[in-house]
Amino acid sequence: MSKKINKIVLAYSGGLDTSVILKWLQEQYQCEVVTFTADIGQGEEVEPARTKAKLLGIKEENIFIKDLKEEFVRDYVFPMFRANTLYEGEYLLGTSIARPLIAKHLVEIAKEVGADAISHGATGKGNDQVRFELGGYALMPDVKVVAPWREWDLNSREKLLAYAEKHGIPIEKKGKKSPYSMDANLLHISYEGGILEDPASEPEEDMWRWSVSPLDAPDAPERITIEFERGDAVGINGVKMSPATLLAELNRLGGKHGIGRLDLVENRYVGMKSRGCYETPGGTILLKAHRAIESLTLDREEAHLKDEMMPRYASLIYNGYWFSPERRALQALIDETQKNVTGSVGLKLYKGNVILAGRTSERSLFNTAYSTFEEDSVYNQKDAEGFIKLNALRFIIAGKANPS
């Protein structure tokens, strides 16, 4: 500990890990602890965290619980989806995109209460430590970050439980504990650990929480329409919805039809490979629909440029650079391309599949007069001869100079 910490804001879930961290911070740093619990749609009650914090000696004025679901989808998920973002071609970044939001509010609370440090429960093996801390330093350059998993020796569940028992930390027991490490928010739920640590093992069916198996999904497809304005989904089947409500409804619909399951071995920021499983039903539907409306409304070179930038943009989010100048610059460019991405997309949801069923837009660049295979009066097919010969010129010259 290089300097005295007077007050620290802890990202607090109320679970075993962060409850132990709370007590450990009080004990090791002899400082005042402020707790922050974010509701980002994880599907569990967050108010019990207040009771738990009080039991551990936290003053009422030092307990912060915020409903961030709308901000999460509006300001983080939707901007990411405007870029059609996928990490390593598959992962919809459900965990990655939530961390900068939590870091932002950790810092805001720290400034509000006059804290000089923030803390989190991410381990020294994973990516979340990077995301939380880069966000913290970007928004509060002089902040001190305390990462207990990099300092203490409580490196097993048994040691955590023993510490909890020794210090009178109540541990709720709700039946059989899941063998998986899970993270959930309104965009996705992830699973790691247990049998998933063997990439050869198939996930057990009872692991999945949000979706039925595609094999057990309804035998008839369900038709839906998603409406877009300037790149963001704004309604389903003609009903306008807030960002969080819309994503929650797409999760319900997608889960019902077995959509959005992913089994992935990914490359972590810290250098190791990690196997995880993910459920992202609403995001999977949204990505398909957004690409479909862009196919009508984006200029060819705009679309191609976006596709070239997307892997870099995805890596920036995955690696914790949400608040970086380069991510902001890319976002500005991406958002500029979305000014005409307005219209409706029809989809059929069927046994794990999202099937395109038509799209329409008043800003459509699709012009039947030019693209028809029937006789037209606007396109001179002879015009193609010139650009073909110009593009072939270097091949012709090279072929003459170096005959095979």
Q: Is 252 a catalytic residue?
A: no
Q: Which of 17, 131, 211, 327 is catalytic?
A: 17
Non-local CB neighbours of 325 within 8 Å, separated by 6+ positions: none
φ, ψ of residue 225 in degrees (nearest 5): -130, 130
Inter-residue contact 330 to 78 (CB < 8 Å): no
Non-local CB neighbours of 294 within 8 Å, separated by 6+ positions: 84, 303, 306, 341
Q: Which of 13, 82, 96, 99 is catalytic?
A: 99
Token pair recorded at residue 357: 């069923």
* Closest among 109, 100, 121 to 9, alpha carbons compared: 109
Q: Which of 39, 82, 119, 128 is catalytic?
A: 128
Token pair recorded at residue 176: 């059989």
Q: Is 300 a catalytic residue?
A: no
* Closest among 355, 244, 230 to 294, alpha carbons compared: 230
Residue for token pair 């693209």? 371
Distance CA 261, CA 204 (A): 13
Inter-residue contact 244 to 282 (CB < 8 Å): no
Distance CA 285, CA 357 (A): 13
Q: Is 344 a catalytic residue?
A: no
Please calculate the CA angle 269-271-274 and round it to the nearest 5 degrees. 80
Q: Is 99 a catalytic residue?
A: yes
Q: Which of 74, 75, 178, 181 is catalytic?
A: 181
Inter-residue contact 353 to 259 (CB < 8 Å): yes
Beta strands per DSSP E along 74-214: 117-119, 144-146, 181-184, 189-192
Give the rounded distance of the alpha carbon of 240 from its chain centre: 23
Catalytic residues: 17, 99, 128, 181
